[in-house]
Amino acid sequence: MMKAFKYRLYPTCKQADALQFTLDRNRELYNAALEERREAWRMSRVNVTYAMQSAQLPEIKEIRPEYKEIYSQILQDTLKRVDKAFKAFFKRCKEDKTPGYPRFQGYDRYDSFTYPQIEKLKGKPTITIEEKKVVLPKIGQIKVKKQRDLEGKAKTATIKREGDRWYLIITCEVEARVKLPYTDLPIGIDMGLKHFMTDSHGDVVDNPRFFRKSHGRLKKLQQRLAKKKKRSNRRKKAVKSVANAHKKVRNQRKDFHHKESRILVDTFETIIFEDLSLHHMVRRPKAKQDENGKYLHNGAAAKGGLNKSILDAGWASFIELVKHKAAWAGVTVIEVDPKKTSQICSACHKEGEHKDLSVRTHLCTYCGVVLDRDHNAAVNIRDRGLGRSLREPASSGTFQEALA
Protein backbone atom coordinates (compact mmCIF):
# COMPACT_ATOMS: atom_id res chain seq x y z
CA MET A 1 0.00 0.00 0.00
CA MET A 2 1.21 3.52 -0.76
CA LYS A 3 0.89 6.31 1.74
CA ALA A 4 1.81 9.95 1.17
CA PHE A 5 3.47 12.31 3.64
CA LYS A 6 3.39 16.03 2.97
CA TYR A 7 5.85 18.42 4.59
CA ARG A 8 6.25 22.15 4.26
CA LEU A 9 9.58 23.31 2.84
CA TYR A 10 11.30 26.53 3.85
CA PRO A 11 13.68 27.33 0.99
CA THR A 12 15.87 30.43 1.02
CA CYS A 13 15.17 32.95 -1.78
CA LYS A 14 17.94 31.43 -3.82
CA GLN A 15 16.64 27.91 -3.27
CA ALA A 16 13.10 28.95 -4.15
CA ASP A 17 14.51 30.33 -7.40
CA ALA A 18 16.21 27.00 -8.07
CA LEU A 19 12.96 25.12 -7.39
CA GLN A 20 11.03 27.46 -9.67
CA PHE A 21 13.75 27.12 -12.32
CA THR A 22 13.42 23.32 -12.19
CA LEU A 23 9.65 23.59 -12.35
CA ASP A 24 9.77 25.97 -15.35
CA ARG A 25 12.18 23.78 -17.30
CA ASN A 26 9.97 20.75 -16.67
CA ARG A 27 6.84 22.56 -17.73
CA GLU A 28 8.64 23.61 -20.87
CA LEU A 29 9.71 20.02 -21.49
CA TYR A 30 6.18 18.78 -20.84
CA ASN A 31 4.67 21.20 -23.34
CA ALA A 32 7.34 20.46 -25.96
CA ALA A 33 6.81 16.72 -25.59
CA LEU A 34 3.08 17.25 -25.92
CA GLU A 35 3.61 19.36 -29.02
CA GLU A 36 5.81 16.71 -30.64
CA ARG A 37 3.21 14.01 -30.05
CA ARG A 38 0.37 16.16 -31.33
CA GLU A 39 2.18 17.16 -34.50
CA ALA A 40 3.39 13.63 -35.26
CA TRP A 41 -0.15 12.39 -34.89
CA ARG A 42 -1.67 15.22 -36.91
CA MET A 43 0.85 15.09 -39.78
CA SER A 44 1.43 11.38 -40.19
CA ARG A 45 -0.59 9.45 -37.60
CA VAL A 46 2.63 8.41 -35.87
CA ASN A 47 2.33 7.58 -32.20
CA VAL A 48 5.43 8.92 -30.46
CA THR A 49 6.33 6.82 -27.42
CA TYR A 50 8.00 7.51 -24.10
CA ALA A 51 11.10 5.60 -25.22
CA MET A 52 11.41 7.78 -28.31
CA GLN A 53 11.13 10.94 -26.28
CA SER A 54 13.45 10.01 -23.42
CA ALA A 55 16.11 8.96 -25.96
CA GLN A 56 16.23 12.61 -27.02
CA LEU A 57 17.15 13.90 -23.55
CA PRO A 58 20.96 13.81 -24.04
CA GLU A 59 20.59 15.82 -27.24
CA ILE A 60 18.34 18.34 -25.54
CA LYS A 61 21.01 18.84 -22.87
CA GLU A 62 23.57 19.63 -25.59
CA ILE A 63 21.37 22.23 -27.22
CA ARG A 64 20.01 23.65 -23.97
CA PRO A 65 22.81 23.28 -21.37
CA GLU A 66 20.55 24.53 -18.55
CA TYR A 67 18.85 21.14 -18.66
CA LYS A 68 22.12 19.63 -17.43
CA GLU A 69 21.47 21.37 -14.14
CA ILE A 70 18.38 19.27 -13.58
CA TYR A 71 18.49 15.80 -12.15
CA SER A 72 17.85 13.38 -15.05
CA GLN A 73 15.20 11.26 -13.43
CA ILE A 74 12.99 14.31 -12.89
CA LEU A 75 13.03 14.96 -16.64
CA GLN A 76 12.21 11.33 -17.33
CA ASP A 77 9.31 11.52 -14.91
CA THR A 78 7.98 14.58 -16.73
CA LEU A 79 8.03 12.67 -20.02
CA LYS A 80 6.23 9.82 -18.24
CA ARG A 81 3.50 12.27 -17.25
CA VAL A 82 2.99 13.16 -20.92
CA ASP A 83 2.91 9.47 -21.75
CA LYS A 84 0.29 8.89 -19.07
CA ALA A 85 -1.85 11.77 -20.33
CA PHE A 86 -1.79 10.30 -23.85
CA LYS A 87 -2.52 6.78 -22.72
CA ALA A 88 -5.55 8.08 -20.83
CA PHE A 89 -6.57 10.02 -23.93
CA PHE A 90 -6.39 6.95 -26.19
CA LYS A 91 -8.25 4.90 -23.64
CA ARG A 92 -11.07 7.43 -23.56
CA CYS A 93 -11.16 7.43 -27.39
CA LYS A 94 -11.49 3.66 -27.42
CA GLU A 95 -14.31 3.75 -24.91
CA ASP A 96 -16.12 6.31 -27.07
CA LYS A 97 -16.07 8.84 -24.28
CA THR A 98 -15.49 12.54 -24.94
CA PRO A 99 -11.73 12.32 -25.21
CA GLY A 100 -10.47 15.73 -24.06
CA TYR A 101 -7.10 16.17 -25.71
CA PRO A 102 -4.08 16.43 -23.35
CA ARG A 103 -3.58 20.09 -22.60
CA PHE A 104 -0.64 22.42 -22.60
CA GLN A 105 0.22 23.45 -19.06
CA GLY A 106 0.40 27.03 -17.90
CA TYR A 107 2.35 28.45 -14.97
CA ASP A 108 -0.49 27.86 -12.52
CA ARG A 109 -1.44 24.40 -13.62
CA TYR A 110 2.00 22.86 -13.71
CA ASP A 111 3.02 22.94 -10.07
CA SER A 112 5.20 19.93 -9.29
CA PHE A 113 8.14 17.79 -10.29
CA THR A 114 9.02 14.33 -9.06
CA TYR A 115 12.04 12.27 -8.11
CA PRO A 116 10.59 8.92 -9.17
CA GLN A 117 13.07 6.78 -7.29
CA ILE A 118 14.46 7.69 -3.90
CA GLU A 119 16.37 4.46 -3.40
CA LYS A 120 18.71 3.75 -6.29
CA LEU A 121 19.79 0.26 -7.37
CA LYS A 122 22.99 0.21 -5.36
CA GLY A 123 21.15 1.33 -2.25
CA LYS A 124 22.35 4.92 -2.40
CA PRO A 125 19.43 7.31 -1.95
CA THR A 126 18.97 10.13 -4.48
CA ILE A 127 17.58 12.43 -1.86
CA THR A 128 18.12 12.30 1.86
CA ILE A 129 15.46 13.23 4.34
CA GLU A 130 16.73 14.18 7.74
CA GLU A 131 15.14 15.53 10.87
CA LYS A 132 15.04 19.19 9.83
CA LYS A 133 16.28 19.22 6.27
CA VAL A 134 16.04 17.46 2.96
CA VAL A 135 18.96 17.20 0.56
CA LEU A 136 17.98 17.43 -3.10
CA PRO A 137 20.58 16.63 -5.75
CA LYS A 138 21.67 19.68 -7.75
CA ILE A 139 19.58 21.96 -5.52
CA GLY A 140 21.01 21.53 -2.04
CA GLN A 141 19.67 21.15 1.46
CA ILE A 142 16.36 22.82 2.25
CA LYS A 143 14.80 23.34 5.65
CA VAL A 144 11.77 21.15 6.20
CA LYS A 145 9.16 20.97 8.92
CA LYS A 146 8.03 17.44 9.66
CA GLN A 147 4.82 17.14 11.63
CA ARG A 148 4.95 13.38 11.59
CA ASP A 149 7.57 10.78 10.77
CA LEU A 150 7.71 8.75 7.61
CA GLU A 151 6.46 5.19 7.76
CA GLY A 152 7.53 2.24 5.66
CA LYS A 153 9.85 2.51 2.69
CA ALA A 154 10.17 5.87 0.91
CA LYS A 155 9.63 5.44 -2.83
CA THR A 156 9.15 8.79 -4.58
CA ALA A 157 9.54 12.46 -3.70
CA THR A 158 7.55 15.27 -5.25
CA ILE A 159 8.22 18.97 -4.86
CA LYS A 160 5.03 20.96 -5.15
CA ARG A 161 4.29 24.65 -5.23
CA GLU A 162 1.01 25.89 -3.77
CA GLY A 163 0.69 29.63 -4.14
CA ASP A 164 4.05 30.84 -2.93
CA ARG A 165 4.62 27.92 -0.60
CA TRP A 166 6.65 24.83 -1.35
CA TYR A 167 5.99 21.31 -0.15
CA LEU A 168 7.75 17.99 -0.15
CA ILE A 169 5.52 14.96 -0.68
CA ILE A 170 7.03 11.56 -0.02
CA THR A 171 5.16 8.43 -0.99
CA CYS A 172 6.01 5.38 1.06
CA GLU A 173 5.23 1.74 0.69
CA VAL A 174 3.73 0.50 3.92
CA GLU A 175 2.13 -2.71 4.98
CA ALA A 176 -1.59 -2.54 5.61
CA ARG A 177 -2.09 -2.35 9.32
CA VAL A 178 -3.79 -5.42 10.65
CA LYS A 179 -5.64 -4.27 13.67
CA LEU A 180 -7.66 -6.25 16.12
CA PRO A 181 -11.01 -4.55 16.20
CA TYR A 182 -12.67 -3.75 19.45
CA THR A 183 -15.40 -6.19 18.55
CA ASP A 184 -15.71 -8.59 15.67
CA LEU A 185 -19.30 -7.56 15.19
CA PRO A 186 -20.72 -6.43 11.90
CA ILE A 187 -22.71 -3.24 11.89
CA GLY A 188 -25.37 -1.85 9.54
CA ILE A 189 -25.70 1.90 9.09
CA ASP A 190 -28.74 3.84 7.98
CA MET A 191 -27.89 7.37 6.84
CA GLY A 192 -30.76 9.72 7.49
CA LEU A 193 -32.00 13.25 7.48
CA LYS A 194 -33.36 13.32 10.98
CA HIS A 195 -30.20 11.77 12.36
CA PHE A 196 -26.86 11.68 10.59
CA MET A 197 -26.77 7.94 11.10
CA THR A 198 -28.48 5.17 13.03
CA ASP A 199 -26.78 1.82 13.43
CA SER A 200 -28.13 -1.70 13.77
CA HIS A 201 -27.54 -1.61 17.54
CA GLY A 202 -29.92 1.32 17.71
CA ASP A 203 -27.23 3.89 18.45
CA VAL A 204 -27.78 7.29 16.90
CA VAL A 205 -25.34 9.97 15.78
CA ASP A 206 -26.90 13.34 15.13
CA ASN A 207 -25.75 16.09 12.85
CA PRO A 208 -23.83 18.46 15.09
CA ARG A 209 -25.75 21.58 15.98
CA PHE A 210 -22.96 23.87 14.87
CA PHE A 211 -23.70 22.88 11.26
CA ARG A 212 -27.01 24.61 11.43
CA LYS A 213 -25.51 27.58 13.19
CA SER A 214 -22.76 28.14 10.66
CA HIS A 215 -25.19 27.52 7.81
CA GLY A 216 -27.36 30.29 9.18
CA ARG A 217 -24.41 32.61 9.38
CA LEU A 218 -23.41 31.76 5.82
CA LYS A 219 -26.88 32.59 4.56
CA LYS A 220 -26.83 35.94 6.32
CA LEU A 221 -23.44 36.81 4.86
CA GLN A 222 -24.62 35.87 1.38
CA GLN A 223 -27.63 38.14 1.70
CA ARG A 224 -25.38 40.94 2.84
CA LEU A 225 -23.09 40.35 -0.13
CA ALA A 226 -26.00 40.59 -2.56
CA LYS A 227 -26.71 44.13 -1.40
CA LYS A 228 -23.19 45.44 -1.97
CA LYS A 229 -22.33 47.63 -4.96
CA LYS A 230 -20.30 45.97 -7.68
CA ARG A 231 -16.54 46.51 -7.58
CA SER A 232 -16.73 48.31 -4.26
CA ASN A 233 -14.31 47.69 -1.41
CA ARG A 234 -17.15 46.65 0.85
CA ARG A 235 -18.14 44.06 -1.69
CA LYS A 236 -14.62 42.68 -1.79
CA LYS A 237 -14.72 42.36 1.96
CA ALA A 238 -18.11 40.66 1.86
CA VAL A 239 -16.89 38.18 -0.76
CA LYS A 240 -14.04 37.30 1.52
CA SER A 241 -16.23 36.70 4.54
CA VAL A 242 -18.57 34.47 2.51
CA ALA A 243 -15.58 32.45 1.34
CA ASN A 244 -14.35 32.16 4.92
CA ALA A 245 -17.74 31.05 6.16
CA HIS A 246 -17.87 28.38 3.43
CA LYS A 247 -14.47 27.19 4.46
CA LYS A 248 -15.50 27.00 8.07
CA VAL A 249 -18.55 24.85 7.26
CA ARG A 250 -16.42 22.58 5.09
CA ASN A 251 -13.82 22.14 7.79
CA GLN A 252 -16.35 21.50 10.52
CA ARG A 253 -17.99 18.83 8.42
CA LYS A 254 -14.65 17.26 7.60
CA ASP A 255 -13.66 17.09 11.26
CA PHE A 256 -16.99 15.56 12.18
CA HIS A 257 -16.70 12.96 9.41
CA HIS A 258 -13.14 12.10 10.42
CA LYS A 259 -14.10 11.58 14.02
CA GLU A 260 -17.16 9.44 13.31
CA SER A 261 -15.48 7.31 10.65
CA ARG A 262 -12.55 6.66 13.01
CA ILE A 263 -14.91 5.39 15.70
CA LEU A 264 -16.64 3.02 13.25
CA VAL A 265 -13.44 1.61 11.83
CA ASP A 266 -11.83 1.17 15.23
CA THR A 267 -14.87 -0.60 16.63
CA PHE A 268 -16.28 -2.91 13.98
CA GLU A 269 -15.00 -5.67 11.76
CA THR A 270 -17.57 -5.32 8.99
CA ILE A 271 -19.41 -2.08 8.20
CA ILE A 272 -22.43 -2.15 5.93
CA PHE A 273 -23.96 0.90 4.26
CA GLU A 274 -26.69 1.51 1.75
CA ASP A 275 -25.40 1.93 -1.77
CA LEU A 276 -26.12 5.63 -2.18
CA SER A 277 -26.14 5.46 -5.97
CA LEU A 278 -29.22 3.28 -5.68
CA HIS A 279 -30.87 5.40 -3.03
CA HIS A 280 -34.30 6.52 -4.16
CA MET A 281 -34.03 9.84 -2.36
CA VAL A 282 -30.92 10.90 -4.22
CA ARG A 283 -32.29 10.00 -7.62
CA ARG A 284 -34.14 12.63 -9.62
CA PRO A 285 -37.92 12.20 -9.50
CA LYS A 286 -39.56 11.18 -12.79
CA ALA A 287 -41.89 13.60 -14.57
CA LYS A 288 -45.57 12.63 -14.35
CA GLN A 289 -48.05 13.20 -17.18
CA ASP A 290 -51.83 13.00 -17.15
CA GLU A 291 -53.88 11.46 -19.99
CA ASN A 292 -53.74 14.73 -21.99
CA GLY A 293 -49.96 14.81 -21.81
CA LYS A 294 -49.99 17.65 -19.32
CA TYR A 295 -47.33 17.52 -16.65
CA LEU A 296 -48.59 16.91 -13.17
CA HIS A 297 -47.14 18.10 -9.94
CA ASN A 298 -44.89 15.29 -8.78
CA GLY A 299 -43.38 16.79 -5.68
CA ALA A 300 -40.19 17.48 -7.63
CA ALA A 301 -39.66 20.81 -5.93
CA ALA A 302 -40.07 19.29 -2.50
CA LYS A 303 -37.82 16.42 -3.49
CA GLY A 304 -35.30 18.85 -4.92
CA GLY A 305 -35.02 20.39 -1.49
CA LEU A 306 -34.68 16.99 0.04
CA ASN A 307 -32.02 16.01 -2.47
CA LYS A 308 -30.13 19.09 -1.51
CA SER A 309 -30.26 18.26 2.17
CA ILE A 310 -29.14 14.74 1.41
CA LEU A 311 -26.20 15.89 -0.58
CA ASP A 312 -25.47 18.51 2.05
CA ALA A 313 -25.33 15.83 4.67
CA GLY A 314 -22.28 14.69 2.77
CA TRP A 315 -23.01 11.00 3.13
CA ALA A 316 -21.02 10.06 0.10
CA SER A 317 -17.87 11.76 1.29
CA PHE A 318 -18.39 10.26 4.73
CA ILE A 319 -18.63 6.76 3.30
CA GLU A 320 -15.51 7.42 1.23
CA LEU A 321 -13.66 8.32 4.42
CA VAL A 322 -14.84 5.17 6.14
CA LYS A 323 -13.71 3.11 3.15
CA HIS A 324 -10.32 4.76 3.17
CA LYS A 325 -9.73 4.20 6.86
CA ALA A 326 -11.13 0.67 6.63
CA ALA A 327 -8.73 -0.26 3.84
CA TRP A 328 -5.89 0.71 6.15
CA ALA A 329 -7.23 -1.22 9.08
CA GLY A 330 -8.26 -4.36 7.24
CA VAL A 331 -11.92 -3.70 8.00
CA THR A 332 -14.55 -4.74 5.42
CA VAL A 333 -17.00 -2.22 4.00
CA ILE A 334 -20.05 -3.51 2.11
CA GLU A 335 -22.64 -1.45 0.26
CA VAL A 336 -26.07 -2.92 -0.34
CA ASP A 337 -29.18 -2.07 -2.31
CA PRO A 338 -31.35 -0.05 0.09
CA LYS A 339 -34.59 -1.17 -1.60
CA LYS A 340 -37.44 -1.63 0.87
CA THR A 341 -35.18 -1.59 3.92
CA SER A 342 -37.78 0.65 5.59
CA GLN A 343 -40.80 -1.50 4.75
CA ILE A 344 -39.40 -4.90 5.63
CA CYS A 345 -39.54 -5.95 9.26
CA SER A 346 -36.10 -6.73 10.61
CA ALA A 347 -37.52 -9.16 13.14
CA CYS A 348 -39.83 -11.37 11.05
CA HIS A 349 -38.62 -10.30 7.60
CA LYS A 350 -42.15 -9.73 6.30
CA GLU A 351 -42.81 -6.78 4.07
CA GLY A 352 -45.10 -4.14 5.49
CA GLU A 353 -46.61 -1.05 3.93
CA HIS A 354 -44.62 1.79 2.48
CA LYS A 355 -43.82 4.36 5.15
CA ASP A 356 -43.95 8.04 4.55
CA LEU A 357 -40.84 9.88 5.73
CA SER A 358 -42.87 11.39 8.56
CA VAL A 359 -43.56 7.95 10.04
CA ARG A 360 -40.73 7.53 12.51
CA THR A 361 -41.63 4.17 14.04
CA HIS A 362 -41.66 0.70 12.59
CA LEU A 363 -44.58 -1.23 14.02
CA CYS A 364 -44.88 -4.69 12.52
CA THR A 365 -48.44 -5.92 11.99
CA TYR A 366 -47.16 -9.49 11.69
CA CYS A 367 -44.86 -10.03 14.65
CA GLY A 368 -45.62 -6.94 16.71
CA VAL A 369 -42.10 -5.65 16.98
CA VAL A 370 -41.78 -1.92 17.62
CA LEU A 371 -38.56 -0.24 16.53
CA ASP A 372 -37.36 3.16 15.54
CA ARG A 373 -37.76 3.41 11.77
CA ASP A 374 -34.05 4.00 11.10
CA HIS A 375 -32.98 1.30 13.55
CA ASN A 376 -35.15 -1.20 11.69
CA ALA A 377 -33.63 -0.11 8.38
CA ALA A 378 -30.09 -0.39 9.79
CA VAL A 379 -30.71 -3.99 10.91
CA ASN A 380 -32.02 -4.81 7.43
CA ILE A 381 -28.98 -3.20 5.85
CA ARG A 382 -26.68 -5.23 8.07
CA ASP A 383 -28.48 -8.50 7.32
CA ARG A 384 -28.53 -7.81 3.61
CA GLY A 385 -24.81 -7.15 3.72
CA LEU A 386 -24.23 -10.40 5.54
CA GLY A 387 -26.22 -12.19 2.86
CA ARG A 388 -29.19 -13.05 4.99
CA SER A 389 -32.37 -13.06 3.00
CA LEU A 390 -34.82 -10.44 4.15
CA ARG A 391 -37.73 -12.45 2.80
CA GLU A 392 -37.03 -15.51 4.90
CA PRO A 393 -39.48 -15.41 7.77
CA ALA A 394 -37.96 -15.96 11.19
CA SER A 395 -41.25 -17.32 12.47
CA SER A 396 -44.69 -17.74 11.01
CA GLY A 397 -47.93 -16.27 12.22
CA THR A 398 -49.17 -12.71 12.32
CA PHE A 399 -49.14 -10.07 14.97
CA GLN A 400 -52.85 -10.55 15.51
CA GLU A 401 -52.42 -14.29 15.91
CA ALA A 402 -49.62 -13.74 18.35
CA LEU A 403 -51.79 -11.47 20.44
CA ALA A 404 -54.78 -13.74 20.34
Q: State the residues that interact with Zn ion by CB under 5 A.
A: 345, 347-348, 364, 366-367, 369
Kindly give, in sequence order, each residue whose CB lies less than 8 Å from that of residue 129, ignoring residues fewer than 6 positions away.
Answer: 144, 150, 154, 157, 168, 170
CB 360 to Zn ion: min, Å? 17
CB 355 to Zn ion: min, Å? 14
Backbone angles phi, psi at 95, to 5 degrees: -80, 5
- Identity of residue 248: K
CB 270 to Zn ion: min, Å? 24
Q: Is 16 exposed, middle or buried (0-12, 13-18, 19+ CB in 10 A)?
A: middle
CB 396 to Zn ion: min, Å? 11
The residue among 181 and 352 lying less far from Zn ion, judged by its C-beta, is 352
State how far the Cα of 170 lies from the Cα of 144, in Å rounded to an integer. 12
The residue among 249 and 348 lying less far from Zn ion, judged by its C-beta, is 348
328 HSE (CA, 13 A, CB side)? 13
State how far the Cα of 26 lies from the Cα of 29, in Å rounded to an integer. 5
- Identity of residue 146: K
Closest CA to 284 of 297, 300, 295: 300
The residue among 288 and 388 lying less far from Zn ion, judged by its C-beta, is 388
The residue among 267 and 398 lying less far from Zn ion, judged by its C-beta, is 398
CB 362 to Zn ion: min, Å? 8
CB 86 to Zn ion: min, Å? 59
Kindly give, in sequence order, each residue whose CB lies less than 8 Å from that of residue 282, ignoring residues fewer than 6 positions away.
Answer: 276, 307, 310, 311
